[in-house]
Amino acid sequence: MTDDALRATIALPHRLRHGGFVVGAAIVGFVIVTALVGPMLVPHDPFAQDLVNRLVPPMWTDGGSAGHVLGTDQVGRDYLARLVYGARISLLIGLSTVLVSGLIGTTLGVAGGFFGGRVDDVVTFVITCRLAVPLILVALAVVSLVGSSFLVVVVTLGLLLWERFAVVARATSSQIRNLDYVAAARAAGCSRGYILLREVLPNILNPLIVVATLEMALAILLEAALSFLGLGVPPPLPSWGLMIAEARDYMFFQAWVIVIPGLALLVFVLGINLLGDGLRDLLAPESRA
């Protein structure tokens, strides 16, 4: 390595030296950008059916056309448009679910960990109850009872996926409760609420962010699973899980109809997990400048 190259490596911000973080951030960033501006750039309407041009293969295979880059599905809707629009659905489901579950789990966990005693007993009991609930089964039951809609899926998943937030928040805040800087803050005249917000929360944020990324990936997968079973977001909304479900009947004849949304799901979830792992390494206070 030349001196210049060496210097460049050293000068590189340390975030960019974490391979997993870079790849994960690139994937997630790409999906976010796609979800935001993609539907405006794709020429086709994801809902417009065209029964003449059904199951057109992608443009790089035999019989493909430049008009439909990724081909069309069984009712002639443009696959690229549906995939891009589906990114929006997946991202929205993931983010809103994590928001709901993160709020529930963190509140419960911090309350139990910080106040201890009876409060903690109750929190621990609620967590145990939640862990005893079979996730998919309850989600299926609720969705089939209430009917499937975007909101129902988000609320159901949000109410089911908070236990890891609670466990992590509880463990970390019960450690922090006994640290000297909390005692010092109380000695400086800080109220309990202030200490929770200012001394406890910022110091348990890092593990919670990592949990959030993992839960987001899980929520997206669960939504896909629910959609696959016909109980996720209702058609004709182009969710990736729904696309896989609809492609099921054709997978032996036109493999790409299931491979494309499947691959998108795989890459996105992988990206989120890589990002979460990277954040865990980089967010440690010791690595801050």
Partner 1 sequence: MTPILTVERLRVEIPVKAGLLRPVRGIDLALSAGETHGLVGESGSGKSLTALGIMGLLPRRARRSAAQLRLGDLDLLPLGERAMEDVRGDRLAMIFQEPMTSLNPAFTIGAQLTETLRRHRRVSRREALERAAAMLARVGISSPRTRLAQYPHQLSGGLRQRAMIAMALLCEPRLLIADEPTTALDVTVQAQILRLLAELQRAMGLAILLITHDLSVVARVAQCVSVMYAGEIVETGAVADVFARPMHPYTRGLLSAVPVPGKVKRGEPLGTIAGVVPSLVGEIDGCAFRTRCPAAHDACVRPVPVRTAGAGRRYRCHLSPGATEAPP
Residues that bind partner 1 (CB under 8 A): 117, 179-181, 183-191, 198-199, 202-203, 205, 285-286, 288
* Distance of closest approach, residue 167 Cβ to partner 1, in angstroms: 21
* Distance of closest approach, residue 122 Cβ to partner 1, in angstroms: 16
CB count, 10 Å around CB of 48? 11
* Nearest to partner 1 of 9, 191 (CB atom): 191
What are the two backbone dihedrals, phi and then psi, of residue 129, each rounded to the nearest 5 degrees? -60, -45
| 116 within 8 A of 174, measured Cβ to Cβ | yes
How far CA 46 is from CA of 39, 51, 78, 277, in Å, comes to 9, 14, 6, 34
* Nearest to partner 1 of 3, 180 (CB atom): 180
* Distance of closest approach, residue 174 Cβ to partner 1, in angstroms: 15
Strand partners, 78: 72
* Nearest to partner 1 of 2, 178 (CB atom): 178
The residues, ordered by sequence, that sit 6+ positions from 145 with a Cβ below 8 Å of its Cβ are none
* Distance of closest approach, residue 235 Cβ to partner 1, in angstroms: 46
* Nearest to partner 1 of 176, 272 (CB atom): 176
* Distance of closest approach, residue 7 Cβ to partner 1, in angstroms: 24
* Nearest to partner 1 of 74, 203 (CB atom): 203
* Distance of closest approach, residue 209 Cβ to partner 1, in angstroms: 13
* Nearest to partner 1 of 40, 288 (CB atom): 288
| 230 within 8 A of 243, measured Cβ to Cβ | no
The token pair that represents 258 in the structure block? 């299931």
* Distance of closest approach, residue 150 Cβ to partner 1, in angstroms: 36
Q: Where are the alpha helices (DSSP H) in 116-200?
A: 117-131, 135-146, 150-160, 163-177, 180-187, 192-195
Rg (CA), the chain: 23
CB count, 10 Å around CB of 276? 22
* Nearest to partner 1 of 144, 191 (CB atom): 191
How far CA 89 is from CA of 75, 93, 120, 207, in Å, comes to 20, 6, 37, 26
